[in-house]
A and B are shown apart, each in its own frame.
Chain A
Amino acid sequence: MNAPLNHIVHRQSSHCESGVVANMLNSQGYELSEPMVFGLASALMFVYLPMVKVGGLPLIAYRMPPKSIISSVCKKLNVKLTSQKFSNEDEGMKALDEALANGKLVGLQTSVYWLPYFPEDMRFQFNAHNLMVYGKNEAGDYLISDPVFEDVVTCPAESLKQARFAKGMLAAKGLMYVMDKPDVTSDLAIQIRKSIKKTAKMMNGLILPFFGIKGIYHLAKKIDKLKNAPEQEVGMFLSNIVRMQEEIGTGGAGFRFMYASFLDEASQLLKDDKLHEISQFTTEVGDLWREFAMKAVLFCKKRKNITLEEVSASLRVCAEHETLLREKLLAWSK
C-alpha cells in the first residue's frame, strides 16, 4: 500500500475549528491567520444555556456553535467546501484514504475522548473536535495536524475510526471536509466590516435571555441565587465557567483576546487607527474576564474573604464593558 503524504503548514492554534480552517488554507498558499478566520466568521459570542447540561453542569460557551466557523469563512472567501457524512464506518475510512491519495488535506470532526495522543486529563466526551489529516505512514497510522498541539501527531486507524464515529451529542457521523482555494480572492476589507457588524449585532443577544450580553447578566443572576446552595455545588458551578472560558481552547478570556488580535490585524490591514483603539479596548474586556475567573477560583479556594456577590459583580463588570464594546463596534461598522 502506498503511503500518501501531502505538504502542509502546521501552525499551533488556540482553537481547533479556526485552527484547522487557517492551516488548511495556509497549506494551499492562502495566507490567513487564525484570529482573522475567527473574526471573519463572526464567531465571538456568549452563551449560557441552563437547561442543557454537560456532565451535570450548564452549557456555557464563548463562541458560535461548532461548524459555523468552517461554513461562514468558506462562504465569505468563496472557498469551495465539500463535506460528507457516512452511515457506514468503513466507507468513511475508505473515503478518507481516497481523498488523501488524491492529494487532498482532509478536515475531520472527531471525539476528543478516543484520540490517544490527548493527555489523560483533557480527554472528555466531546464530539466536536476538528483536526486535519495530511497523510498515512508505512504502519498505516494517520498523520495528523491537530491545531491545538505544538507539533503534528499520529493516530492509529482504529482509534481515528472510533473518534470519527463516536455517538452522542454533536455526533460527527464521520464528517470529513475538503477545502479548495478560490481562483479569485475576495476583498477582505468588505468582509471585515460585514463580519464586525454581525458580531456587534449579535452581542446584544437574541430574544431569549441566554445569549450575548443578556446571557452574561443572566449568569450573574444565577450566581447570586447560589448563595444558599451547598459549597460543593457552588464550587463545581463556578469552576465549570472558568474551564469553559480558559481551558477549552479559547486563546484566553473566552476568545476575547483572539478577537482583539483579529481587530488589531484588521486595523493594520485597513490602516485604521480607530480599529486599533477598539482592539485595545477588547483587550481590557479580556482582562476583565480573566479577573472574573480569578475571583471565581479564589472563592472556590475560600482564600481571602471574597464573597459570592463580588464574583457576580465582577461578571457584571464584564457585561457592562461588552455593552460598550458593542457600541464601539457598531459605530465603526456603520
Chain B
Amino acid sequence: MKKEEVPQDSCKSYSGHKKLIYAVGDEGHYEGVKSSGWEVEGFATEMAVKALDEQLAQATIDYQQGKVSPLGYYIPLFRFDLMSLAHATGFFQWQIKRHITVKVFNKLSDKKLMKYCAVFNISLEELKKPVIKS
C-alpha cells in the first residue's frame, strides 16, 4: 500500500481519533501514516457494535418484562458473554445460565452476587435493581 492509498474515510468508530498505518512513501521506503479509518474496516466494526446494541436492547426488554434476571441485562451491558464472564467470575457457564433466570437469581446468596459486582464494578443494590439508561 502506498502512502497516498492509506484510507482517510473518517470512520465513526474512531470518534475523531487517528490510527497509525505503515505504508510505502515516495522514496519506496516505509513510513508511518495516520489514518482516519478505512470504510471496509468501519463497516465490520459497526456490524459488531450493532449486534451488541441489539443484544442489549433485547436483554433490556426481557428484563423489563421479567423474563430474565438483572444479570441477563448486565451481561451485554458490560460487553461480556457466557465464556468471558465464566472466566472472570469463576462460575461455570451452566451456572451463569441458571443465574440469568429470575427464579434462581432471587435465591442467590450475597456472596455469590458479590462476585458479579466485583467483575462489573457495581454495588449489590445496583446489581439487584438496575437503573436502566435509555
Contact = CB atoms under 8 A, between A and B. Distances in A.
Nearest to A257: B22
Interface stretch (B27-35, B66-74, B99-107, B123-131): B27-35
B84 A243 contact: no
Contacts of B58: none
A216 B125 CA distance: 48
Contacts of B81: 53, 55-56
Interface in B21-47: 21-24, 28-30, 32, 34, 38, 40-41, 43-45, 47
Given A239-B47, A247-B44, A257-B23, A268 B13 contact: no
B61 interface: no
A190 interface: no
A125 B79 contact: yes
Given A251-B20, A257-B23, A166 B40 contact: no
B30 A242 contact: no
A123 interface: yes
B17 interface: yes
Nearest to A149: B17
B83 A53 contact: yes
Interface centre among A169, A240, A247, by most B CB within 10 Å? Answer: A247
Interface of A: 12-14, 34-35, 53-56, 113-114, 119-125, 148-150, 162, 166-169, 171, 235-236, 239-240, 242-243, 246-247, 249, 251-253, 257-258, 260-261, 264-265, 268, 279-280, 283, 286-287, 290, 293-294, 297, 300-301
A290 B1 contact: yes
Contacts of B80: 125
A240 B30 contact: no
B41 A243 contact: yes
Given A121-B13, A122-B13, A150-B17, A242 B22 contact: no
A124 B78 CA distance: 8
A35 B78 CA distance: 34
Nearest to A168: B88
B64 interface: no
